[in-house]
Amino acid sequence: MKKLVTILLMVFFAVALFSVTAFAEGHTIAMIVKNVGNPFMDAAGRGAEEACKELGNNFIFQGPATPTVEGQIEIIENLIAQKVSAICITANDFDALVPVLQKAKGNNIKVVSFDSAVAPGGRDVHVNQANAELIGKLQVQAIAEMIGYEGEIAILSAGATMTNQNTWIEYMKEELKDPKYAKMQLVTIVYGDDLRDKSYNEAMGLFKSYPNLKGIISPTTVGISATAKAITDAGLIGQVKLTGLGLPSEMAEWVHNGACEAFFLWNPVDLGYLASYVASLLCDGIITGKAGEEFSAGRMGDYTIVEAVDGGTEVLLGPPFRFDITNIDEWKDIY
C-alpha cells in the first residue's frame, strides 16, 4: 500500500513537471511584479497579457510571495535559464537587482522596468506611471485642501528601500517648501512594509504619538486602506484626513464612510500594457531605449522616450486619476 502511494506520488510529480505548455511563435515576455496576489500587480499583468496577445507574444507572469529583492533575483535567474526575450519588472530595490539584470542583458534579454524603477545600469528603459513630481505634488495639494493648509501631517509609506515610494516622498517634501504650505509641518515618515497589520499599527501609533495630527498621506495601496480602517476604528473620521495612492476596490468603503475624501491612482492595466508593448518593440529592434525615440503603442497612442532624473531614460504613462465619492462606485469593481 505504502509503495503504491509512493509510486503514485512520483508519477504525479513527473507528469506535473513535464506538463509545461509549449510556447507559440513570437517573443516571450516575462513580467515580474513586487509580489503575487496584489490586485494592483494583477491588473498590470492583465494589461501586459492583453498587449502580448495583440502582438502575438507569449506571456509569463511571476513574482515572489512577499515583496523581497531575494525573491525577485531568484525569479530572474530562472528566466535567464529559460531564455525569455524580455523582462518587465517592478523593482523591490533600486540597486540590488542591477547585477542579475545585467546578467540578463548579457544573455540578450531586454529589460524594461515599470512602476518602481531599477537603476539605469540594469534596464533598457523605464515605464513610469506619471511624472513622479506630479504624483508627489498632487498628493500634497490634496491633503492641504482637506486640512485647510494648516497643521501637522505625516506620511505612511511601504518599505524604506522602495524606489518609487522614496522618489514621491522626495517630491512631496519639495512641494511642501512652497510658501503656501508654510503652516503645514511634515512631522514624520513611518513604514508599514505593505503589511496590513503593521501598517494599521503604524497608523494607530501616529494618532497616539502626534495627537495634533491633521492629515496622513499614504502613497501605497495597503498603507492607505489600513490607515483608513485605523482612522475609522479610532473614531477619527473628519479629524484626521487621508489621501494617497490606493485601489478603488479597497478604498470604496472608506470613501463612503468619509475616512478618505479623495485619493489617486493611474490605471495599472494601461501601465502593464505599455510596459509589455515597449518590451516587444525593444525585442523587434524598433526602439533601443534612447531618449528622443518615438513610437506608437497600440491602443495607448504615441509616446516619446525621455531622459529620466536618475540618469536613464523613461516613458511616461500620463497623469494620475483622482477618485472620490463622485466616481468611486464606477471603478470599485474594475480594480
Partner 1 sequence: MMQKSTQLEKKVLSLRLRGFRELGIIVFIIVISVLIGIRNPRFLTWSNFHDILIDTAALSVLSVGMMLVLVTGGIDLSMESVLALTGMVAGMMVKQNPQLSPFFMLILGLLLGGLLGSITGLIVAQGRVVPIIATLSMMYIYRGITFIISGGKWINAYEMPDSFKAIATGRWLGLSKLIYIVLAVYLVFYYFVNHTHTGREIYAVGSNKEAARIIGINTQFITWLVYAISGALSGLAGVMWVARYASAQNDTASGFVMTIVAACVLGGVSITGGVGTISGILLGSITVGIINNALPMIRVSPFWKMALQGLIILVAAIVNIAIARNMEKSQLKRRVV
Please report, as ranges, the residues that interact with partner 1 according to CB under 8 A.
35-39, 42, 65-66, 160, 188-191, 195-197, 200-202, 204-206, 208-209, 211, 225-226, 229, 233, 249-250, 252-254, 256, 332
* Nearest Cα residue to 63 out of 80, 75, 53, 51: 75
Q: Which three cell numbers stand for residue 19?
A: 506538463
Q: Cβ 144 to partner 1, closest distance in Å?
A: 24
Q: Cβ 75 to partner 1, closest distance in Å?
A: 16
Cα gap 319→328, rounded to integer Å: 18
Residue closer to partner 1 by CB (options 259, 282) is 259
Residue closer to partner 1 by CB (options 171, 200) is 200
Q: Cβ 214 to partner 1, closest distance in Å?
A: 17
Q: Exposed, middle or buried by CB within 10 Å (0-12, 13-18, 19+), for 303?
A: buried
Residue closer to partner 1 by CB (options 254, 266) is 254
Q: Cβ 126 to partner 1, closest distance in Å?
A: 25
Q: Cβ 209 to partner 1, closest distance in Å?
A: 5
Task: Render the burial of 211-248: b for 16+ CB within 10 Å, e for the rest.
Answer: eebbbbbbbbbbbbbbbbbbbbeeebbeebbbbbbbbb
Residue closer to partner 1 by CB (options 38, 131) is 38
Provide the β-strand partners of residue 58. 28
Q: Cβ 33 to partner 1, closest distance in Å?
A: 11
DSSP string over 204-224: HHHHHH-TTEEEEEE-SHHHH
Alpha-carbon distances, residue 86 vs 55, 93, 97, 272 (angstroms): 14, 19, 15, 14
Residue closer to partner 1 by CB (options 200, 303) is 200
Q: Cβ 30 to partner 1, closest distance in Å?
A: 17
Residue closer to partner 1 by CB (options 102, 201) is 201
Residue closer to partner 1 by CB (options 266, 335) is 335
Cα gap 324→335, rounded to integer Å: 15
* Nearest Cα residue to 137 out of 95, 173, 182, 87: 173
